[in-house]
Amino acid sequence: MFEPRTENAAAAGAPAPPNPLLEKWQGPWGGLPPFDKVKVTDFKPALEAAMAENLREVDAIANDPAKPTFANTFIPLERSGDLLNRVGTIFGIWSTSLNTGEFPAIQQEMQPKLAAHADKIIQNAKLFARIEAIYKGSEMKKLNKEQQRLVKVYYDNFVHAGAALTPEKKARLAEINQQLATLYTKFNQNLQGDESGVYMVIDHKENLAGLPQSFIDSAAEAAVSKKVPGHWVVRNTRSAIEPFLTYSQNRDLREKAYKMFISRGENPGERNNIQNIKSILKLRAERAHLFGLPTHAHWMLQTKMAKDPENAMKLMLQVWPAAVARVKEEVADMQALANKEGAKIKIEPWDYRYYMEKVRKEKYDLDENQIKPYLQLDKMQQAMFWVAGELFNFNFKRLDNIATFAPDMQVWEVTDKTTGKHVGVWYFDPYARDGKDSGAWMNQYRNQSRVEGDVSTIVSNNANFIKGKPGEPVLISWDDATTMFHEFGHALHGLSSNVTYPTLSGTNVPTDYVEFPSQLLEHWVATPEVLNKFALHYQTGKPMPQELINKIKKAATFNQGFATVEYLSSALYDMKIHLEGDKDVDPAAFERDYLNSIGMPREIVMRHRPTQFRHIFSSDDYSAGYYSYMWSDVIKADAYTAFTEAGGPYDKKVADRLRKYIFTVGNTIDPAEGFRLFRGRDPQVRALMEERGFPVPK
């Protein structure tokens, strides 16, 4: 076992204490992450040692003198990198959740090294020759379907990442990938800086008019954390800004909060992301040219369900006109209400959520403040567990005395309700803090597999809820509850995995398919079973009244114009700016000009403006791929009709098919084939249009 030495320890002749990141995870079920033992100074030596070990493993496979076979190539490949996976998992958690103090500098140093390491493996000519020999050889036909799929995925991934390029192109590709890794890290750290370091302080109580008491309490707690006690702080995160824009009666402060939020990463100074974006776009375009492709979008979509940018654009533009038309109706309703109240204003972006809520109340006798008292964070968590039990036969048991990286985290064991068999472990990190990415996401700490025994998965959900007063329940919005179910859908996808090889496990599927299971689970929030059992008033304990449930259902398609345009404008921008290739593009000017050309309503901005578009500029993952949410939404909407056409949301036979063909199979079969096995046909866009209340195309 590698044991790093400090200079002082080495000089004294005494070994340094063991690096906890290099130790096997201890505890039940194959071990759990040693979060309580990790120090920031552990990361660099651990990553360097893990990368060195990984290269030794790969070199041993590549230089095996025996003829390449599945057994002597792919089995050891699937076993390799275990140490780097463990260290990299915890390094990634610190990157997204604890990025403060000394860590940002270490991240800046190590991300390019990790990119270079990945390229060393991809560009190992002897290794790729073995993979190619098996992929194109006679043994391929003798393998079972899962093995064939593994070989194909490896081969496609290696080719996509440059294994078949000339030596000169490989060298340049490695340089580009390291430069991009540095730029991605800087982009995200700049954004984290604006989200943590920029906030709005409210000095006078009268400026809190209209805000729910739960928000006021959380703002007071935030003020204490920012060392301005006796005031109220509105954090620069979506979970704080959206409710403020919805309820604050102070229009000037709404404008101030709105501009603070949409300016993240665009403020003058060292945290400005404009030049980072320009450099990222240039390097991505050059990389695509190395592969003989016209743009980064063409390169990225090779491995996706959509296959090419034209298919993705076709879907988005099919929905765009109906969404814009609906926005015009929504704005007209809001403007009429403002005029009726004598406001003498023209609806601006910082007015949209405020007047949207007023219109909802007028049209449907419904506002969010009627709903939130029934949506307690812990009760919605219990609701997720209950749905998982009904659809997936899972049981969740709270674990105490398990190491976590934040004091408010929770850890739960997941078992099969019938057999009691261990399934996996679920971590939940619910609250916002400095150094943590905004938004919500799922992590897979360990993949389920059976290559070396029965290895269970470890997953997490992460959110940014704002704490209220100590001892009082955290009340969340309907959108927050939906997001919780969405991210839990990703977790269930990981927990349900039942495959042999870790590369094909759980959520390791194309990005335009991975959002399908998560978006599908959103539907269960509004089921009567969930609302009656878990939507309990935080003071009376009584369930949400049927009258209120009926109002929620009646208003289900309300504001879909805003929601669709806000998202879709971001997805269209992402695709179009990457289709510009190597042109010299100013990201802000392109945003303005392109959105004007497609009729973007002036009252709405992109959900993620360029300088804060973490999905596409902090990694390659969703670049030229933000369309994935819409692509998956089509699949999700059509899939849910399988339940409604049968016995309802909890129909056992449909749920069995869902588990069998979607949630358990990982990437062992082509996603399109998996959907057809579940649904009996390919997905159709009709269900999505109906779900959003848009005219259905003929």
The structure tokens listed for 382 are 């219990």
pLDDT of the residue at 148: 98
Residues with Cβ within 8 Å of 264's Cβ and at least 6 positions away in sequence, in order, are 191, 194, 195, 198, 236, 609, 611, 612
Half-sphere exposure of 96 (CA within 13 A, CB side): 21
Into which CATH architecture does domain 374-554 fall? Orthogonal Bundle (1.10)
Other C-beta atoms closer than 10 Å to the C-beta of 553 total 11
**DSSP-derived 3-state class of residue 459:** strand
Domain extent listing, the chain? 19-122+124-161, 198-262, 296-372+558-691, 374-554
* Rounded distance between C-alpha atoms, residue 177 and residue 263, angstroms: 28
Largest CA-CA distance found in the chain, in angstroms, rounded = 84
Active site residues: 487
pLDDT of the residue at 1: 27
Report the Cα 235 to chain-centroid distance in Å.
21
pLDDT of the residue at 14: 59
Q: Is the distance from CB of 192 to CB of 108 less than 8 angstroms?
A: no
pLDDT of the residue at 470: 86
**DSSP-derived 3-state class of residue 160:** helix
pLDDT of the residue at 2: 27
Which regions of the chain are under pLDDT 50? 1-12
pLDDT of the residue at 17: 81
* Rounded distance between C-alpha atoms, residue 514 and residue 45, angstroms: 34
* Rounded distance between C-alpha atoms, residue 241 and residue 251, angstroms: 14
pLDDT of the residue at 13: 53
Report the Cα 195 to chain-centroid distance in Å.
17
What are 359-389's pLDDT values in tens digits? 999 999 998 889 999 999 999 999 999 999 9
pLDDT of the residue at 5: 28
What are 99-114's pLDDT values in tens digits? 999 999 999 999 999 9
Half-sphere exposure of 54 (CA within 13 A, CB side): 25
According to DSSP, the residues that pair with 462 across neighbouring strands are 429, 441
Into which CATH architecture does domain 19-122+124-161 fall? Up-down Bundle (1.20)
pLDDT of the residue at 467: 86
Question: Is the fold of 19-122+124-161 the same as that of 374-554?
Answer: no
Into which CATH architecture does domain 296-372+558-691 fall? Orthogonal Bundle (1.10)
